[in-house]
Amino acid sequence: MLKWLGDIMAEGLKGLFAVTGNYGIAIILLTLVIRLILLPLTISQNRSQVKMMELDAERKAIEKKYKGDKNKITEETMALYKSKGVNPLSGCLLMIIQFPFLIAFFQMLQHFDFAAKPGFLLWHDLTKVDSTYILPILSGVTTWWQMKISTLGQDPSQRTMATIMPLFVAWFSTKFSAALALYWVATNFFTIGQQYLTPGAMPQRRKEGNEADAVSRKKGAER
């Protein structure tokens, strides 16, 4: 079903290689193109994350009010999210959307001819598993970093996924070609960059901003 997407990616990779002469750089540039295509969804996800953080105080109030009654807490929390038009799974949205591209890229690699052309990035042949484990480790670390600065690392209901997913990605990267691991690492770095460059996108930055506003309002009232 994703063959058409894989074919498009293969042609894009060939074109970028023709310009750069290096498949590692070509994969990074292809990743950038894909991130630009997904940018509208990324912006939408960031907005949803900000809304989730704004409702954090109300969610904690519900937990305090119905302490010990998990079903009631879940019911009231979901009602709160629904009333505010917030999807509690929004933090997973972009990662889920990335998987078709990852699968298409993986399928494309099965038939792509690296052998007849240079296929190296610094120290390693992209057609083989990274025996140095540098890319698998980077894939796990950057996945953890990306999830930590999103609501996945802040929402208690999603912290398990934020712990398991990086480990799974790192393990996955030890089983397949370095090209696939490089694609995932580049994807994570671009996502992290977007998070840092988008105002209010990161939960911690949003929290610090709200605290600063509260202090400013308090000082204003005292005057």
Residue 74 lies in a domain: no
Residue 189 lies in a domain: yes
Residue 42 lies in a domain: yes
Measured CA to CA, the distance from residue 35 to residue 27 in angstroms comes to 12
Measured CA to CA, the distance from residue 130 to residue 158 in angstroms comes to 30
Q: Is the pLDDT of residue 208 over 70?
A: no
pLDDT of the residue at 199: 57
**Residue 66, burial from CB neighbour count under 10 angstroms (0-12, 13-18, 19+):** middle
| pLDDT above 70 coverage of the chain, percent | 75
Measured CA to CA, the distance from residue 21 to residue 4 in angstroms comes to 25
Identify whether the C-beta of residue 2 lies closer than 8 Å to the C-beta of residue 104.
yes
Residue 82 lies in a domain: no
Residue 212, Cβ neighbours under 10 Å: how many?
A: 10
Question: What's the mean pLDDT in 2-21?
Answer: 88
Report the mean per-residue pLDDT for the chain: 78
pLDDT of the residue at 1: 65
Question: What's the mean pLDDT in 173-190?
Answer: 89
Measured CA to CA, the distance from residue 108 to residue 113 in angstroms comes to 10
Q: Is the pLDDT of residue 2 over 60?
A: yes
φ, ψ of residue 121 to 5 degrees: the values are -125, 105
Amino acid at 120: F
Question: What 8-state DSSP symbol labels residue 119?
Answer: -
Instruction: For 120-178, write each residue's pLDDT tens digit.
Output: 455 567 878 888 899 999 999 999 888 887 755 455 556 677 778 899 999 989 998 88
Give the burial string for 157-186 (b: 16+ CB within 10 Å, else e): ebeebbeebbeebbebbbebbbbbbbbbbb
Candidates 207, 208, 189, 185; CA nearest to 197 is 189
Residue 58 lies in a domain: no
Higher per-residue pLDDT: 160 or 221: 160
130 lies in which domain range?
A: 3-48+91-222
pLDDT of the residue at 189: 92
pLDDT of the residue at 153: 47
Residue 69 lies in a domain: no
Instruction: For 78-119, write each residue's pLDDT tens digit.
Output: 888 888 877 766 656 666 777 788 788 888 877 777 654 554
Residue 185 lies in a domain: yes
Domain count, the chain: 1
pLDDT of the residue at 215: 45
Residue 201 lies in a domain: yes
